């Protein structure tokens, strides 16, 4: 019988989106479930199976259609879906459904399985009892997961622990942890357990799950003797499913996967993007850490942007002394082009964009005091960030930064040279130049940053969100490498600065080629 997602579609059309979101009920498409089931079925001894987040049992339907005498235990926490699933499987003797939280259950840790298959709930730390559950998992597994760990990681690690000899486990999870700081401890467990075999990353333009904004990865683990290698593959669109299924079924032969590495060459503390999408490693000499010449910090977090930011009309209407206003960019979309000049600031000001934030200096200002009282009436002083400040309306101290980096971007990093004393909210990161070390000033650094050569160093740094959106954290940049532009001759440094100065308002970006050719001539091996 053809297996389909009909039961999931019917459920989704009858249950409110809020209910599904509350329990993270985003169902696995058949093609993906099929690949994951294939992995479990590769264990010839497959008999005892666990589905830790059962939902409507898509994995069990596929497994039973290929191996009818399995004994499957399923957990789900939601009464409504449990009832529907129990009804769907009422004629099957193979399924034992348990209405319980898989992670809180302390008694099942030593229960071992031949196969574990799961699309776990993706809850952030504030959406579940992280303070109780994470220490418990750490104690059981000897891990050091921090309190910000997403629930899906607890599911994954617990399941890996529950594998019998030759047991196999297939999970589909968001791929973000592969490249983020909080993922390091999770990756560390995967490597140290010696059970990680293959990671298949989805690099879809559309989302894999219709209504969950996420890019995903299938994690395949096995408790067998083939611990020497770890494979990585990716799927770029639906046409790749057949190929991946073949790769999965050819295990332990990994030569068809996109990349195979010696397990000892896989390190938890690097971004795993460099394993599954190794861009051509730039073949350059004289590399230095980014922090040799600059430091990246996040912009100002006000805790209540709508209260603290001002446009010209609001500033006039409140009558607050302008000495209490600090020029500040509140939205990166207000800044177009490569450089931001005093003229650009005035254009924004005159078109009534928010270009100031409140920075109370003149406490004698009656209008300021009235505005502060109004903020207290609106309980702005009780918000998360403001409640921690003394006084609550004080602003973070930051010097205006000469270069801004866009935090979220679709096309890699975007840099802006800020030629004004304007500050920035978190919409941009601030890049501060280290004391003109070896003549590397803001113009020179900026000319380097906008080159295609610099981009190759940043391309593996960002974290992926759904829809091709990349997010860069300050440390993604601080921890990357760059060319040692301080070692260029004075004449070359001057040329780079002047290429920027002469073209800074030029819409035709072809001058960037000249920057690249200077860099390539000097640094390529």
Residue closest to 39 by CA, chosen among 276, 271, 263, 231: 231
Q: Which is nearer to ligand SAM, 158 or 414 (CB)?
A: 158
Looking at residue 279, what DSSP letter applies?
P
Contact segment (CB under 6 A) with ligand SAM among 52-60, 249-257, 316-324, 396-404 equals: 52-60
Q: Which is nearer to ligand SAM, 138 or 305 (CB)?
A: 138
Q: Which is nearer to ligand SAM, 108 or 305 (CB)?
A: 108
Q: Is 30 in the site for ligand SAM (CB under 6 A)?
A: no
- Find the binder of ligand SAM among 38, 50, 63, 78 (CB under 6 A): 78
Site for ligand SAM in 104-163 (CB under 6 A): 119, 121
C-alpha atoms less than 13 angstroms from C-alpha of 267 in its C-beta half-sphere: 6
Contact segment (CB under 6 A) with ligand SAM among 21-29, 158-166, 192-200, 442-450 equals: 21-29
Q: Which is nearer to ligand SAM, 28 or 130 (CB)?
A: 28
- Find the binder of ligand SAM among 30, 35, 46, 58 (CB under 6 A): 58
Q: Which is nearer to ligand SAM, 128 or 428 (CB)?
A: 128
Query: How far is it, in rounded angstroms, from Cα 438 to Cα 446?
Result: 15
| Residue with tokens 């004289």, as numbered in its chain | 286
CB of 149 to ligand SAM, least distance (A): 14
Q: Which two tokens stand for residue 226?
A: 């083939």
Q: Which is nearer to ligand SAM, 31 or 101 (CB)?
A: 101
Query: How far is it, in rounded angstroms, from Cα 91 to Cα 86?
Result: 9
- Would you put residue 55 in left (φ > 0), alpha (ψ -120 to 50) or beta? left
- Find the binder of ligand SAM among 75, 293, 345, 393 (CB under 6 A): 75
Residue closest to 425 by CA, chosen among 315, 335, 314, 294: 335
Whether the Cβ atoms of residue 186 and residue 145 lie closer than 8 Å to each other: yes
Q: Is 77 in the site for ligand SAM (CB under 6 A)?
A: yes
Contact segment (CB under 6 A) with ligand SAM among 98-106, 298-306, 486-494, 498-506 equals: 98-106
| 18 contact partners, CB below 8 Å, separation of at least 6 | none
CB of 211 to ligand SAM, least distance (A): 11
Q: Is 35 in the site for ligand SAM (CB under 6 A)?
A: no
Residue closest to 400 by CA, chosen among 336, 322, 329, 475: 329
Number of residues this chain uses to bind ligand SAM (CB under 6 A): 20
Query: How far is it, in rounded angstroms, from Cα 439 to Cα 485?
Result: 9
Query: How far is it, in rounded angstroms, from Cα 334 to Cα 325?
Result: 19
Judged by the rule CB under 6 A, the positions of this chain that interact with ligand SAM are 23-28, 53-55, 58, 75-78, 81, 101-103, 119, 121
């Amino acid at each position: 019988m053809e297996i389909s997602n009909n039961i999931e579609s019917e459920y989704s059309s009858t249950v409110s989106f809020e209910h599904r979101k509350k329990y993270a009920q985003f169902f696995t498409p058949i093609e993906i479930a099929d690949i994951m089931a294939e992995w479990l079925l590769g264990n010839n001894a497959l008999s005892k199976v666990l589905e830790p987040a059962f939902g409507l049992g898509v994995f069990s339907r596929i497994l039973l259609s290929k191996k009818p005498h399995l004994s499957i235990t399923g957990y789900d926490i939601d009464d409504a879906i449990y009832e529907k699933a129990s009804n769907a499987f009422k004629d099957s003797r193979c399924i034992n459904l348990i209405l319980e939280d898989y992670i809180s259950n302390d008694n099942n840790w030593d229960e071992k399985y031949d196969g574990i298959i799961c699309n776990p709930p993706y809850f952030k730390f504030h959406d579940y009892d992280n303070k109780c559950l994470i220490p418990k998992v750490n104690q059981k597994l000897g891990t050091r997961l921090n309190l910000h760990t997403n629930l899906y990681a607890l599911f994954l690690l617990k399941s890996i622990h529950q594998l019998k000899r030759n047991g196999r486990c297939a999970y589909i999870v968001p791929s973000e942890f592969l490249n983020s700081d909080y993922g390091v401890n999770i990756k560390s467990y995967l490597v140290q357990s010696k059970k990680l075999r293959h990671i298949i990353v989805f690099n879809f333009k559309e989302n894999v799950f219709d209504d969950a904004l996420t890019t995903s990865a299938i994690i395949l683990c096995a408790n067998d003797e083939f611990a020497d290698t770890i494979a990585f593959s990716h799927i770029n669109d639906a046409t790749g499913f057949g190929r991946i299924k073949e790769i999965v079924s050819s295990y332990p032969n990994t030569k068809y996967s996109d990349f195979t590495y010696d397990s000892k060459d896989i390190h938890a503390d690097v971004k795993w993007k460099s394993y599954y999408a190794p861009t051509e490693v730039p073949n350059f000499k004289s590399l230095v850490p980014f922090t040799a010449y600059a430091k990246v910090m996040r912009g100002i977090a006000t805790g209540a942007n709508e209260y603290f930011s001002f446009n010209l009309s609001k500033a006039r209407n409140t009558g607050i002394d302008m000495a209490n206003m600090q020029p500040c960019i509140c939205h990166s979309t207000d800044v177009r082009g490569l450089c931001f000049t005093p003229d650009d600031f005035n254009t924004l000001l005159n078109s009534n964009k928010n270009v100031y934030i409140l920075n109370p200096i003149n406490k004698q200002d009656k209008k300021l005091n009235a505005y502060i009282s109004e903020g207290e009436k609106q309980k702005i002083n009780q918000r998360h960030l403001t409640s921690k400040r003394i006084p609550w309306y004080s602003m973070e101290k930051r010097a205006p930064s000469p270069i801004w980096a866009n935090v979220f971007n679709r096309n890699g990093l975007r840099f802006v040279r800020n030629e004004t004393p304007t500050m920035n909210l978190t919409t941009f990161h601030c890049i501060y130049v280290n004391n003109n070390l070896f003549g590397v000033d803001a113009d020179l650094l900026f000319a380097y940053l906008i080159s295609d050569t610099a981009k190759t160093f940043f391309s593996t740094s960002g974290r992926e969100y759904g829809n091709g959106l990349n997010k860069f954290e300050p440390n993604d940049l601080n921890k990357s490498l760059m060319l040692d532009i301080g070692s260029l001759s004075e004449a070359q440094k001057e040329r780079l600065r002047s290429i920027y100065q002469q073209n800074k308002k030029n819409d035709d970006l072809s001058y960037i080629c000249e920057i690249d050719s200077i860099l390539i001539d000097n640094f390529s091996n």
